[in-house]
Amino acid sequence: MSHITNGALAIDLPTPRVPAVRNRLKDTPVPGPKRVLLAAPRGYCAGVDRAVIAVEKALEHYGSPVYVRKQIVHNVHVVSTLESQGAIFVDEVEEVPEGAHVVFSAHGVSPAVVQGAADRGLQAIDATCPLVTKVHREAVRFGSQGRHIILIGHAGHEEVEGTMGHAADRTTLVQNPDEVDDLVVEDPDNLVWLSQTTLSVDETMETVRRLRERFPSIQNPPSDDICYATQNRQVAIKKVAVGADLVIVVGSANSSNSVRLVEVALEHGAKAAYRVDYASEIRQEWLDGVETVGVTSGASVPEVLVQEVLDDLADAGYGDVAEVKTAEEDLMFSLPKELRKDSTGAVDERALGGRTR
Ligand code: SF4
């Protein structure tokens, strides 16, 4: 294990295991043929890709160290890799030396954080996913119209803190359908609901149903707040889970969309489902009697980590891999404007935020 201690972050990180250590899992007999159903889409979304490239390019442009407020994306491998390249992760902008470069993470920040960075003379690069920024704008708009916002999301998640900061006095957080029963609002006819981008679609719809029951005139957001990547990965794992004895989700414990994938798999037919950061965490006993293994990964997971899982599963006899594809994704976002050109003024080929896996 490695331990990040830069700033206030103190995260135990499993040591990256690339290249993979092979032949750890044993090929034990099961009643029928062994196979893997590999969900697609999986892994990196456009917002994560853009944020990770933003840190890489900031290091190229400005040299090490570049400070990053919070984990740039919620994945221990990505964070530890960037740290090894010279990024320093901190919890708050007050930990960044005055005048230094700081990158805001894909999960977004509140206006108070932006102001805090400006007060310290920091050179801020905003890697907030544009789909999170869209929710921020909705919060600002509805707040300025005097509406009260019911934000569906998880307390303590950085995205929720950032969104609430855009309409702090006019937002109430609801974390699940049951919490709707306890909601106290001033004007039941002046409500609008918004949501975190990485929630379970089904659970959120249940929360909305309960909100509508109690507050029939509550207004919907102008468009989906749960992002395309979260929705697509949940649709794919639902299809995989129906036929899976076991589902393995590659993703970190603090990755909301990865944790949701485990829940969705269990709700849609998987007999068991586990989340792992690395293939080395797969336990031999998970494979007892298992014929079909479903595999997917959260939106902040590089494909190399999925490949390690597939390699280890192949060692255990699961070399027959069929992809279950439910959508094509080709969305790309422009990089933050400070980073679109290299030192010669040429537009970097990654400037659109996309990269091959
Ligand atoms: S999961 Fe969705 S909202 Fe979050 S970074 Fe990816 S595309 Fe953006």
Which residues, 6 or more positions from 256, have their beta carbon under 8 angstroms from its beta carbon? Answer: 74, 154, 157, 159, 196, 198, 199
Residue 186 CA to ligand 1 centre (angstroms) = 32
Residue 159 annotated as catalytic? yes
- pLDDT tens, per residue, the chain with 357 residues: 333 322 333 334 444 555 456 678 999 999 999 999 999 999 999 999 999 999 999 999 999 999 999 999 999 999 999 999 999 999 999 999 999 999 999 999 999 999 999 999 999 999 999 999 999 999 999 999 999 999 999 999 999 999 999 999 999 999 999 999 999 999 999 999 999 999 999 999 999 999 999 999 999 999 999 999 999 999 999 999 998 999 999 999 999 999 999 999 999 999 999 999 999 999 999 999 999 999 999 999 999 999 999 999 999 999 999 999 999 999 999 999 889 877 677 777 666 655 544
Q: Tell me the residue type at 138.
A: E
What are the C-alpha distances in Å from 314 to residues 282, 293, 306, 308?
13, 11, 12, 10
How many CB atoms neighbour CB 191 within 10 A? Answer: 21
- Nearest Cα to 105, choosing from 60, 67, 143, 144? 67
Q: Are 44 and 302 in contact (CB under 8 A)?
A: yes
Q: Which regions of the chain does DSSP assign to beta strands (E)?
A: 2-4, 11-13, 35-40, 66-69, 87-90, 101-104, 123-126, 148-152, 171-174, 191-195, 246-250, 273-276, 292-297, 321-325
Distance CA 16, CA 174 (A): 36
Residue 259 CA to ligand 1 centre (angstroms) = 14
Residues within 6 Å of ligand 1 by CB: 45-48, 106, 129, 131-132, 197-198, 227, 229-230, 257, 299
Structure-derived torsion over alpha carbons of residues 127, 131, 134, 139, reported in degrees to the nearest 10: -90
Residue 23's region, left for phi above 0, alpha for psi from -120 to 50, else beta, is: left
Instruction: Give, using CA atoms, the residue closest to atom 2 of ligand 1.
Output: 227
Q: Name the 3-class secondary structure at 46.
A: helix
Taking the CA of residue 331 as reference, the ligand 1 atom at the shortest distance is 7
Residue 48 CA to ligand 1 centre (angstroms) = 6
Q: How many helices (H) and strands (E) does the chain have?
A: 9, 14
Taking the CA of residue 50 as reference, the ligand 1 atom at the shortest distance is 5
Which residues, 6 or more positions from 110, have their beta carbon under 8 angstroms from its beta carbon? Answer: 161, 162, 164, 165, 166, 168
Best probe residue, ligand 1, of 44, 48, 259, 330 (max atoms within 8 Å of C-beta): 48
Best probe residue, ligand 1, of 75, 228, 230 (max atoms within 8 Å of C-beta): 230
Q: Name the 3-class secondary structure at 183.
A: coil
Paired tokens of 11:
């995260």
Residue 322 CA to ligand 1 centre (angstroms) = 26
Taking the CA of residue 299 as reference, the ligand 1 atom at the shortest distance is 1
b/e for 202-235, b at 16 or more Cβ within 10 A?
ebbeebbebbeeebeebbebeebbbbbbbbbbbe
Q: Are 205 and 231 in contact (CB under 8 A)?
A: no
Distance CA 204, CA 111 (A): 26
- Identify the active-site residue in 159, 179, 328, 349: 159
Residue 132 CA to ligand 1 centre (angstroms) = 7
Instruction: Give, using CA atoms, the residue closest to atom 5 of ligand 1.
Output: 47
Q: Is the dihedral of CA 310, 311, 314, 316 positive or negative?
A: negative
